[in-house]
Amino acid sequence: MTQNHYDVIIIGGGVSGSALFYELGRYTDIKKICLLEKYDSLASLNSNGSANSQTIHCGDIETNYTLEKAAKVKKTAKMVEKYCLKHGYEDKVIFSHQKLALGVGREEVIYIKNRFEEFKSLYPYLELYDKEKLAEIEPAVIYDKDGNERPEDIVGMGAQGEYTTVDFKALSDTFIDNTLKIQDKVTDIFFNNEVTQIQKIGTTYHVQTTMTQFTADFVVVDAGAHSLYLAHQMGHGLDYGCLPMAGSFYMSNKQILNGKVYMVQNPKLPFAALHGDPDILVNGFTRFGPTALMLPKLERFKPGTYLDFFKTLRLDHNVIKIFVDLLSDSEIRNYVMKNFLFEVPYINKKLFLQDAHKIVPSLNEEDISYAKGFGGVRPQILDKKNQKLMLGEASIDTGEGIIFNMTPSPGATSCLGNAVRDVEAICEYLGFTFDKKTFNDELVDEEPIEGENT
């Protein structure tokens, strides 16, 4: 075997790849692990704090999650929290704010109240806030610019004192730092190594980068939108296409909100959770967004990747059918058009304000500006076989020693949960041991769920 041979190679140094690197180092007896990253630093794309909403999506205020989905994301979200607390990363990597989902108008108020009843056993700390309480804890959602109370019925469902926010780039850095400290293992990282081709010869994977060649017994591709691109190159995941949905933000240089304020989400729109919250990268600023705009490229704010988009879309009659179905719904059509206009200078702010007023009625044009350089791309998956836009993450485990992960939101929150799924698959395939007990002791929350029999 060459010097460049590893038991496992991970492609992509975002939060997903970094979390896997950490778990392989800490919880398995795998000896040689390598991470290959295209750029010169970790988490420079979607896992960067400027690209995403920095939210730990644990399912309590995300109104697009069913109770079943919420229970799943709660478990993986807790892993991030437990990891951060174990290492003392409070107020450096993980932050605590109040948070709430706001119901505005009679219909949404009923919806939030019902949801509160349904979800409070899974999240015993949840509280219901009436107008008076909201005025006390989050006054900006109640008063208009003249200091008058907004007229609509309003209610909030939320929590105080929970960990709500993560700097996912800082989290990625800690995963790598902590892995590099592990003795008696080879844990290598190569930056500026863009993987251009993966080939399986016999039982060995040959990974060609722009710099050199590596080999491995197992490969995990955590390359964001490029995971599917590399899968297609190898003939995997051909029933999937990638639809890159960019998200942008608007910023206020004032502290307007005390915590995260989400709204009731339209169930037809998987990426519509416009919200406002204090920014953890720019202290004292408030961020609003994200928007959702289809962008014909796989990486935001980087040159190129237009051709990669077209290759990964794999346009055919199934993709056209998905688009036609989506656009035949007037709500989705209007939403698509509006999000396009959110990017057009001069009119964008006025239009965005109309939506943001639902959160902060007093917000005016002088308060916010388009956050240049902020935002990322959610690689949403098109399921061509079932002619549907998939709402969440997707993973292609070929069963042949290579896994491809596609991670739109809440992929950053689920980084440790997704990684442990892959750790188990890798250990089983290669015959290594996963120390599940230590993993559970350190990262899994055993808090009993009220009303559960077991």
Q: Do residues 309 and 298 touch, judged by C-beta distance below 8 A?
A: yes
140, 195, 228, 263: which one contacts ligand FAD (CB under 6 A)?
195
Q: How far is CA 99 from CA 28, 58, 127, 152, in A?
A: 36, 12, 10, 21
The count of chain residues that interact with ligand FAD, using the rule CB under 6 A, is 42
Residue with tokens 């004032």: 254
Residue 12 or 103 with smaller CB distance to ligand FAD: 12
CB of 334 to ligand FAD, least distance (A): 20
Q: Is 20 in the site for ligand FAD (CB under 6 A)?
A: no
CB of 20 to ligand FAD, least distance (A): 9
- Quickly list H helices, 4-125: 15-27, 67-86, 106-119
Between residue 296 and residue 355, which ones bind ligand FAD under the rule CB under 6 A? Answer: none
Query: How many C-beta atoms surround the C-beta of residue 148 within 10 A?
Result: 11
CB of 422 to ligand FAD, least distance (A): 12
Q: Is 232 in the site for ligand FAD (CB under 6 A)?
A: no
The Cα 280–Cα 265 span in angstroms is 24
Residue 150 or 378 with smaller CB distance to ligand FAD: 378
Strand partners for 218: 8
The window from 1-9, 10-18, 95-103, 433-441 that contacts ligand FAD (CB under 6 A) reads 10-18
CB of 321 to ligand FAD, least distance (A): 26
What string of DSSP letters covers 217-273?
A: EEEEE--TTHHHHHHHHTT--TTEEEEEEEE--EEESS---SSEEEEPPPTT-TT--
The Cα 98–Cα 103 span in angstroms is 16
Between residue 371 and residue 410, which ones bind ligand FAD under the rule CB under 6 A? Answer: 375-378, 407-410
Q: Do residues 305 and 296 touch, judged by C-beta distance below 8 A?
A: no
- What x-and-dash track marks residues 235-254 binding ligand FAD by CB under 6 A? ------------x-------
Pick the closest to residue 383 from 269, 265, 245, 228 (CA basis): 228
Alpha carbons within 13 angstroms on the beta-carbon side of residue 89 total 23
Residue 261 or 412 with smaller CB distance to ligand FAD: 412
Q: Is 216 in the site for ligand FAD (CB under 6 A)?
A: no
* β-strand pairing of 204-209 with 213-221: antiparallel
The window from 50-58, 142-150, 360-368, 446-454 that contacts ligand FAD (CB under 6 A) reads 50-58
Residue 155 or 205 with smaller CB distance to ligand FAD: 205
Determine the length of the chain.
Answer: 454
Q: Is 13 in the site for ligand FAD (CB under 6 A)?
A: yes
- What x-and-dash track marks residues 151-190 binding ligand FAD by CB under 6 A? -----------------x----------------------
Residue 377 or 389 with smaller CB distance to ligand FAD: 377
CA dihedral 127, 129, 134, 136 (to 10 degrees): -70
Query: How many C-beta atoms surround the C-beta of residue 196 within 10 A?
Result: 12
The Cα 408–Cα 413 span in angstroms is 11
Pick the closest to residue 313 from 257, 389, 369 (CA basis): 389
Q: Is 417 in the site for ligand FAD (CB under 6 A)?
A: no
CB of 212 to ligand FAD, least distance (A): 13
The Cα 442–Cα 452 span in angstroms is 23
Residue 210 or 386 with smaller CB distance to ligand FAD: 210
Q: Is 275 in the site for ligand FAD (CB under 6 A)?
A: no
411, 423, 425, 426: which one contacts ligand FAD (CB under 6 A)?
411
CB of 73 to ligand FAD, least distance (A): 9
Between residue 51 and residue 70, which ones bind ligand FAD under the rule CB under 6 A? Answer: 51-55, 57
User: Residue 365: exposed, middle, or buried by beta-carbon count in 10 A (0-12, 13-18, 19+)?
Assistant: exposed
Pick the closest to residue 430 from 22, 16, 28 (CA basis): 28
CB of 48 to ligand FAD, least distance (A): 7
Which pair of tokens denotes residue 201? 């010869």
CA dihedral 216, 407, 84, 180 (to 10 degrees): 20
Pick the closest to residue 18 from 206, 166, 235, 228 (CA basis): 166
Q: Do residues 395 and 418 touch, judged by C-beta distance below 8 A?
A: yes
Q: Do residues 179 and 173 touch, judged by C-beta distance below 8 A?
A: no
The window from 47-55, 336-344, 424-432, 438-446 that contacts ligand FAD (CB under 6 A) reads 47-55
Residue 23 or 318 with smaller CB distance to ligand FAD: 23
6, 8, 10, 14: which one contacts ligand FAD (CB under 6 A)?
14
Residue 361 or 379 with smaller CB distance to ligand FAD: 379
The window from 48-56, 131-139, 173-181, 320-328 that contacts ligand FAD (CB under 6 A) reads 48-56
Residues found near ligand FAD in the complex (CB under 6 A)? 11-17, 36-39, 43-47, 51-55, 57, 168, 194-195, 222-224, 226, 247, 290, 375-378, 407-413
